[in-house]
Chains A and B, each alone.
Chain A
């Protein structure tokens, strides 16, 4: 039981490049979310999903796309990377609202 797996762990992008951060969970959780963690700002919600085929925006969605074609996978796409997107990205999943989320180990992204 791997929990929530994120790849890659580290990534350096040039401004304007695109990439996909991968997230997979093997717990059959319906709820999945993407957060970014920045110093002094805590974690901020980018996008979330309540089940396969259903996604919605969080607090800071601009510059990011998501899709949820299966229960297990919830990739995050950066369309055209900007230095402001330099951050640590966490994927999380949950079985239900009151149980809290299980987090992945994070992806540290640097945009130069």
Chain B
């Protein structure tokens, strides 16, 4: 069965500190992985997709097939990064997304 695990419900860091939001997945096929972000009272927004290997708002994520992980990283946290972050696994050609339970990132001054 497909599964996405985000082990931390809440991650609290100080401004300027490095951030790593963990995501592990289980899937027998070739995964398509995404990070979505939801700022307070706003809709979910696509942050990153593994296929593009890009950096958005200073965030990066690398797919590690050996460890079945897709951790989200940022070297220096900013106050505006405070939000809920969801890791998602696309299957069935990406039509169906399986989401993790989310990690609330709180950046403290």
B10 to chain A, nearest CB (A): 12
User: CA separation between A70 and B34, bound complex, in Å?
Assistant: 28
Looking at A40, A58, A100, which has the most chain B CB atoms within 10 Å of its CB?
Answer: A100
Q: What is the 8 Å Cβ interface bit string for chain A, positions 88-106, against chain B (1 contact, 0 not)?
A: 0010101011111111111
Q: How large is the interface on B (under 10, 10 to 19, 20 to 34, 35 or more residues)?
A: 20 to 34
Q: In the assembled complex, which residues on chain B have CB atoms less than 8 Å from the CB atom of A94?
A: 94-95
Q: Is the CB of A96 within 8 A of B43?
A: no
A42 to B44, CA, bound (A): 12
Q: How distant is A23 from chain B, measured CB to nearest CB, in Å?
A: 12
Measured CB to CB, the closest approach of chain A to B74, in angstroms, equals: 19
Tell me whether B96 and A42 are in contact (CB under 8 A).
no
A98 proximity list for chain B (CB < 8 A): 32, 49, 51, 90, 94
Q: Which of A40, A50, A92, A103 contacts B101 (CB 8 A)?
A: A40
**Residues of A close to B98: CB separation below 8 A:** 45, 59
> Do residues A45 and B43 form an inter-chain contact, with CB atoms below 8 A?
no
- Please give me the residue from chain B that is nearest to A38 by CB atom: B101
Tell me whether B83 is interfacial, beta carbon within 8 Å.
Answer: no
Q: How many A residues touch B, CB cutoff 8 Å?
A: 27
Quick one: closest A residue to B100, CB to CB? A42
Q: Is B26 an interface residue (CB 8 A)?
A: no
Answer whether residue A25 sits at the interface, using C-beta atoms and an 8 A cutoff: no
Chain A residue contacts of B9, Cβ below 8 A: 40
Is A71 in the interface zone, CB < 8 Å from B? no
Judge whether A105 and B43 touch: CB under 8 Å: yes
Within 8 Å of chain A (Cβ to Cβ): is B11? Answer: no
Q: Are B95 and A42 in contact (CB under 8 A)?
A: no
Point out residues on A near B: beta carbons under 8 Å: 31, 33, 35, 40-45, 48, 50, 58-59, 90, 92, 94, 96-106
Q: Give B contacts to A, CB under 8 Å.
A: 4, 9, 32, 34, 36, 42-46, 49, 51, 86, 88, 90, 93-102
Some 10 contacts from A to B, beta carbons below 8 A apart, are A33-B95, A42-B99, A42-B100, A43-B97, A96-B94, A98-B32, A98-B90, A100-B36, A105-B43, A106-B43
